[in-house]
Chain A
Amino acid sequence: MALDDRFHNRDFKVVGNRVTRPDGIDKVTGRARFGADMTAPGMLIAKVLRSPHAHARINGIDTSKAEALPGVKAVVTYADFASAHAPDDDNLVNCMAKDKALYDGHAVAAVAAISTAVARKALKLIEVDYEVLPHVTDVDEAMKPDAPVLHEDAQDESVPAGTPKNVVRRYEFGHGDVDAGFAQADKVIERSFRTEAAHQGYIEPHACLASYGSDGRADLWCCTQGQYAVRAMCAGMLGMQASDLRVTASEIGGGFGGKTTVFIEPVALALSRKAGKPVKLVMERSEVFRASGPTASTSIDCKIGMTKDGRITAGRAELRYQGGAFPGSPVEFGAMSGFAPYDLENVQAIGWDVVTNRPKQAAYRAPGAPMAAYAVESVIDELCQELGLDPLEVRIRNCAHEGTLSPYGVTYPKIGLEETLKAVQSHPNWTAPLGPNQGRGVACGFWFNFGGNTCVSLNIDEDGTVSLSTGNPDIGGSRASMSQMCAEELGIPYDRVRCSIADTSLLGYNDVTDGSRVTFAVGLATIKAAQDAIKKMCGRAAAIWGIPEDAVEWEDGCAKPAGPNAGEHPPMSLAEIAAVSSQTGGPIAGHYECNADGAGVSFATHLVDVEIDPETGFTKVLRYLVAQDAGKAVNPDYVEGQFQGGAVQGIGWSLNEEYIYGEDGRLQNAGFLDYRIPVASDLPMIDTVIVEVPNPGHPYGVRGVGETSIVPPLAAISNAVSHAIGKRMTQIPMSPPRIVEALEG
C-alpha cells in the first residue's frame, strides 16, 4: 500500500484522544465476565491428572476405579482423541500425553464429575503405569550426543546429518562477509550469554466451559487470544467440522502470547462429549506454571566488531533456544531480530531449535526477540565501554533507516528508530546525576509486527449509532481504539459506536490477537468497512435527492451534494440517513475482509538507572524510560500502558523471574510466591515518550505497539547493572545471588 499523506496528515478528531474504554464500567464493577465466570445448567467440573515425572513411558492407564466412583461422569485419555485424529498433532499430544509423559505436569488423563471434590478424589483413583526415563531440561545439555532423546523423528532436513536428535531445526540469516568485517574492526568482543525461561504470568488462569450437544454440535466459552484458532485446533483434535463448533471468547485476563494456543479446551470438549453435559475446566495456578506455555530458555554466543570511531563492522550470533518438549522454540525470530536495529554490511545469525523435558513453549510478547537483543545490545555496550564511546551516539551512528537491508532480508520502509534514540538523548533521565553503586544502561529493540486475516462488519443502526463487530478478543482496550477509528472515518462522535467481539459463527476467520496486529489490521479493516458504509449512505442520499451517486461526498458525518450538477440540498447526517433507511432500500451495513499486509516494523530505545546493594545483590530500579515509535497513537493512554507493561515484564525477567528445575526434572517454583513477578513496591513510575513516524501501510499511520516494549529491558538493565558493579553480567535473571557471585568472583 502506498503512503497516503492525505490520511497521515489529516486533522484527527477522535483518533489520538484519551477516550474512556467502552468496557470500563463492567471492569471496575466486577460485572465483566472472564473465562472462569461462566456457568451452565447441569455443569460438571473437570480436573486433569498430570505426570509427576519429567520423562516417562506410559505403559498403561487404568481408569476403571475412577469411573466407578459415584459422581464421576466421564474420564478421558489420549485414546479419546486419537481415533478422531490422525496423523499426530504436537498440540494434541501436548494437551494429552500419548505414549510418553514429556515433562513434569504433562496431562495424562482428565475427569469430569459433579463437584470439584469428587473430581479430585477420582484423579487419585487413576492408575498410570509409568516407566521413568532419563530426562534433560537444560538447552546445552540437551544438545549433547549422549543426552536423553525425546523424539526419534522430530529433526528435519535443516539440521546437518549426525547432529544429536534433540536438535530439531536450524535457521540462518544474514548477508555480507562477517570474517572480512571482523578484520576491519579495531576491537572485537565475543561473549556467551544465558537467559532462563520466563512465564507470561497473566493473572487469569486458563479457563473454559464446553457444551457438546447430542447433535454433534458444540459451544465453547474460553479465555483466549483467538477464538477462531481455538475452533480450528479443537475441531481438528475432536474430528469435528469447524462450523459445528462455536467458540465465544470471554473477557480475557491477560495473555501476552500465552493464550494463542489450546491446553484445556479440547479436553473439556472431549469430556463433555463423553458425559453429555456441560463441563467447566479451570487451571490452578500451579498447573499454569507447569503445563501452559512459558517462553524458551537460551544460550547465545555473540561476536561484534567495531572501529575506534564507533562503526560496527560485523556481527555474528549463534543462538540455541529450547522450547520445551516439541519443536517450535522462537529461535527463528531471535536469529532474525537480534541485529535488526542496525545497518550492517556483514551480519550472520544461526539459530538452533532444541527440545527438552519442559512444557511446550508458547508465544511470549515478541517471542524470541528479547534474548537475542540481550546478547547483541550487551556486546555493543561493552564495545562502547572499551572504546570510550557514547552508547547512544554509537547507536545513532549505526541505526537502521528507511532503505536499510535488514539482517533477515527485508528492506525497511519508513521507520522511527533514530527518532527514539534522539528522544532518549533529549530526555532529562539521560543526564540525571548518578550516585555510588548506581549504573545506567541503554538498549534498542525491534519487533516485526503482523497483519493477517481480518474480517470486520459494521451496522448503521436506525437511531444513528453504529454497531461494530470484530473478531479479536480485546486484551487491553482495543474496543476503544476500534471505536475511535470507526468514529473518525464516519465523522461521528466516539460514543456513537459500540464495538463488540463476535463469536466464530458471526464473522470470517480472524487471526489470533498476536503480533501486535489488532490496532493495525483490525483498525485498517474497520476503516475500510466504514468507507464501505459511507459509499452506501452516499448512494441513499443520492437516491433521495435524485442526483447521481458520484455527485455526493461524505464530510463531517454527513452526505453532501458536491460538484457542478449536484444541485442544492441540505446535508444529511448519518443519523438522518439511518432513520429513513427502510424507505431507501433497507438496513445499511459496511464490511471488509483482508489478509492485511504492511504492518510496519517497530523500534524502541529504553534507558534505565539502577542501584545495587553490594551486600545483598539486590537491584533497585531508580528510573526507567521507554521511547517507542507508535506510528500514530490511536489512544495514547493505552499506548503508554503497553510501553509500561512490557518494560515491567522485562524488568521482572531481568532481575527475578525464572523457571527453576530440580535434579529430578520437576519445576521447583510453580507459584507466584516463588516465581515472583514485579509488584508495585519494586518499581518507580515508568516514563514514556511516544514517537510517531507514520506507518506507510496503514491509512492513519498506525503501527502495532504491544510487543516491542519487552525487547530492550533485558539488555538495558544488564548494561546498567554491569556499569554499577563494574563487572559484565552475562546471565538473566540477575537475581541477588548471581550479583553477589559476580561481585565476589
Chain B
Amino acid sequence: MSQIHVTTKINGDETEFLCGPEETLLDVLRDHLGMTGTKEGCGTGDCGACSVTVDGRLVCSCLMLGAEAEGHEIGTIEGVAKGDELHPVQKKFLDHAALQCGICTPGFLVAAKALLDRTLEPTEEEVRYWLAGNLCRCTGYDKIVRAVMDTAAELRGA
C-alpha cells in the first residue's frame, strides 16, 4: 500500500509524515512520531486516553485517520506545558493527587484544558459531563473533578 504524505502542525510545530491509509492519528503520533504521551486504552473511541485537539476541538485520535490531519493543527499532551512551565491544570492534578497510575492522565489533561479554554466557570456537573468520555479506573474521579474545578477557580482569580 502506498504511503500518504501529510503536512500538519503539532503543538505549534510544522510537521510532515508519511502514513498508511489505514493508520489512525494515534498510530502516527505514537509509532511514527515517537509521541507516546497520547495513550491507547481501547482504539474504539470509548476511553478518551487518546484525546488530542484538532484546531482546538477535542477529538479521540484513535477515531481519526492520520491522513485527515492534513492542514490541521493538532494539540497533544506534550504541548500542554510551555517548556518547563506546567499548565495550571497539570499543577492542580499533582496538588490534588488526581492521578494514581497515570495512564488516563494525558487524556484527562487534554480534555480538561479544552474545557477551560472554553469556560472558566464550569459547574461540577459540567465538569463531570465534559469528562464523561474519559475513563479513569483508579481514582473514582473525585480528585480529578476537584482539580479541574480548582484550576478554573485559580484561572478566574477566585
Determine whether the beta carbon of B77 is less than 8 Å from that of A29: yes
Q: Can you list, as one digit per residue, whether each of A550-581 has a CB less than 8 Å from chain B (1) or not (0)? A: 00000000000000000000000000000000
A324 lies within 8 A of chain B by Cβ: no
Determine whether the beta carbon of A673 is less than 8 Å from that of B139: no
A543 to chain B, nearest CB (A): 42
Binds B, one of A200-208, A236-244, A332-340, A443-451: A200-208
Binds B, one of A60-68, A72-80, A374-382, A676-684: A676-684
Determine whether the beta carbon of B37 is less than 8 Å from that of A29: yes
Q: Which residue of chain A is the closest to B124 with respect to CB atoms?
A: A685
Residues of B close to A637: CB separation below 8 A: 96-97, 143
* CA A659 to CA B30, docked complex, whole Å: 31
A641 lies within 8 A of chain B by Cβ: yes
Determine whether the beta carbon of A285 is less than 8 Å from that of B20: no
Q: Can you list, as one digit per residue, whether each of A31-55 has a CB less than 8 Å from chain B (1) or not (0)? A: 1111011010000000000000000
* CA A34 to CA B38, docked complex, whole Å: 11
Determine whether the beta carbon of A683 is less than 8 Å from that of B38: no
Determine whether the beta carbon of A284 is less than 8 Å from that of B43: yes
B128 lies within 8 A of chain A by Cβ: yes
Residues of A close to B142: CB separation below 8 A: 640, 644, 683, 685-686
Q: Which residue of chain B is the closest to A28 with respect to CB atoms?
A: B90
A658 lies within 8 A of chain B by Cβ: no
Residues of A close to B133: CB separation below 8 A: 679
Q: Which of A643-677 touch B at CB < 8 Å?
A: 644-645, 647-649, 671-673, 677
Determine whether the beta carbon of A679 is less than 8 Å from that of B132: yes
* CA A433 to CA B132, docked complex, whole Å: 29
Given contacts A21-B94, A28-B109, A253-B103, contact A685 B145 (CB under 8 A): yes
A491 lies within 8 A of chain B by Cβ: no
User: How many chain A residues touch the partner (CB < 8 A)?
Assistant: 58
Q: Can you list, as one digit per residue, whether each of A610-641 has a CB less than 8 Å from chain B (1) or not (0)? A: 00000000000000000000000001011011
Determine whether the beta carbon of B77 is less than 8 Å from that of A475: no
Q: Which residue of chain A is the closest to B35 with respect to CB atoms?
A: A30
B7 lies within 8 A of chain A by Cβ: no
User: How many chain B residues touch the partner (CB < 8 A)?
Assistant: 59
Residues of B close to A671: CB separation below 8 A: 42, 44, 46
Determine whether the beta carbon of A27 is less than 8 Å from that of B105: yes
Q: Can you list, as one digit per residue, whether each of A349-368 has a CB less than 8 Å from chain B (1) or not (0)? A: 00000000000000000000
Determine whether the beta carbon of B140 is less than 8 Å from that of A203: no
Q: Which of B83-127 touch A at CB < 8 Å?
A: 86, 90, 93-97, 99-106, 109, 125, 127
B49 lies within 8 A of chain A by Cβ: yes
Residues of A close to B81: CB separation below 8 A: 28-29
* CA A39 to CA B127, docked complex, whole Å: 36
Residues of B close to A202: CB separation below 8 A: 101, 103, 137
Determine whether the beta carbon of B128 is less than 8 Å from that of A641: no
* CA A27 to CA B136, docked complex, whole Å: 14
Determine whether the beta carbon of A673 is less than 8 Å from that of B140: no
* CA A630 to CA B96, docked complex, whole Å: 20
Given contacts A29-B78, A645-B138, contact A681 B103 (CB under 8 A): no
Determine whether the beta carbon of A30 is less than 8 Å from that of B38: yes
A594 to chain B, nearest CB (A): 27
* CA A598 to CA B40, docked complex, whole Å: 40
Most buried by A among B86, B94, B125, B140: B140
B144 lies within 8 A of chain A by Cβ: yes
* CA A281 to CA B86, docked complex, whole Å: 33
B107 to chain A, nearest CB (A): 9
Given contacts A23-B102, A33-B36, A204-B39, contact A256 B77 (CB under 8 A): no
Determine whether the beta carbon of B105 is less than 8 Å from that of A672: no
B6 lies within 8 A of chain A by Cβ: no
A413 lies within 8 A of chain B by Cβ: no
A476 lies within 8 A of chain B by Cβ: yes
Determine whether the beta carbon of A28 is less than 8 Å from that of B40: no
Determine whether the beta carbon of B140 is less than 8 Å from that of A648: yes
* CA A477 to CA B142, docked complex, whole Å: 17
Given contacts A476-B101, A683-B128, contact A285 B41 (CB under 8 A): yes
Given contacts A203-B137, A645-B100, A685-B142, contact A20 B40 (CB under 8 A): no
Determine whether the beta carbon of A641 is less than 8 Å from that of B138: yes
Determine whether the beta carbon of A677 is less than 8 Å from that of B137: yes
B80 to chain A, nearest CB (A): 7
B59 lies within 8 A of chain A by Cβ: no
Residues of A close to B137: CB separation below 8 A: 200-203, 254, 256, 645, 649, 677
B61 lies within 8 A of chain A by Cβ: no
* CA A642 to CA B142, docked complex, whole Å: 11
Majority DSSP secondary structure for residues of B touching A: loop
Q: Which of B44-58 touch A at CB < 8 Å?
A: 44, 46-47, 49
Q: Can you list, as one digit per residue, whether each of B140-155 has a CB less than 8 Å from chain A (1) or not (0)? A: 1111111000000000
* CA A200 to CA B103, docked complex, whole Å: 15
Given contacts A254-B137, A685-B142, contact A30 B37 (CB under 8 A): yes
* CA A29 to CA B1, docked complex, whole Å: 35
Partner of B86, one of A29, A34, A284, A642: A29
A176 lies within 8 A of chain B by Cβ: no
Determine whether the beta carbon of B140 is less than 8 Å from that of A253: no
Q: Which of A454-478 touch B at CB < 8 Å?
A: 475-477
Residues of B close to A672: CB separation below 8 A: 41-42, 44, 46-47, 135
Residues of A close to B125: CB separation below 8 A: 681
B16 lies within 8 A of chain A by Cβ: no
Residues of A close to B80: CB separation below 8 A: 29
A415 lies within 8 A of chain B by Cβ: no
Determine whether the beta carbon of B38 is less than 8 Å from that of A680: no
Partner of B41, one of A205, A679, A681: A205
* CA A477 to CA B37, docked complex, whole Å: 19
Determine whether the beta carbon of A30 is less than 8 Å from that of B76: yes
Determine whether the beta carbon of B109 is less than 8 Å from that of A34: no
Determine whether the beta carbon of A680 is less than 8 Å from that of B127: yes
B153 to chain A, nearest CB (A): 16
Partner of B103, one of A34, A640, A648: A34
* CA A641 to CA B96, docked complex, whole Å: 10
* CA A677 to CA B140, docked complex, whole Å: 11
Residues of A close to B103: CB separation below 8 A: 34, 202-204, 251, 253-254
Q: Can you list, as one digit per residue, whether each of A244-256 has a CB less than 8 Å from chain B (1) or not (0)? A: 0000000111111
B22 lies within 8 A of chain A by Cβ: yes
Determine whether the beta carbon of B43 is less than 8 Å from that of A253: no
Determine whether the beta carbon of A648 is less than 8 Å from that of B102: no
Determine whether the beta carbon of A20 is less than 8 Å from that of B95: yes
Q: Which residue of chain B is the closest to A644 with respect to CB atoms?
A: B140
Partner of A679, one of B93, B101, B135: B135
Q: Can you list, as one digit per residue, whether each of B1-44 has a CB less than 8 Å from chain A (1) or not (0)? A: 10000000000000000001010000000100011111111111
Q: Which residue of chain A is the closest to B34 with respect to CB atoms?
A: A39
Determine whether the beta carbon of B100 is less than 8 Å from that of A477: yes
A669 to chain B, nearest CB (A): 12
B143 to chain A, nearest CB (A): 6
Chain A residues in the interface with B (C-beta under 8 A) = 18, 20-21, 23-25, 27-34, 36-37, 39, 117, 200-205, 251-256, 284-285, 475-477, 635, 637-638, 640-642, 644-645, 647-649, 671-673, 677-683, 685-686
Query: What 11 new A-B contacts, CB under 8 Å, besides A202-B101, A205-B40?
Result: A36-B40, A251-B101, A254-B101, A285-B42, A285-B46, A641-B138, A641-B139, A641-B140, A645-B140, A679-B135, A680-B136
Could you pull out 10 A-B pairs where Cβ atoms are within 8 angstroms? A28-B109, A29-B80, A29-B81, A39-B34, A203-B103, A253-B39, A254-B100, A645-B140, A648-B139, A649-B137
Q: 9 nearest interchain CB pairs? A: A30-B37, A253-B103, A648-B140, A27-B102, A637-B97, A644-B140, A672-B46, A476-B100, A30-B77
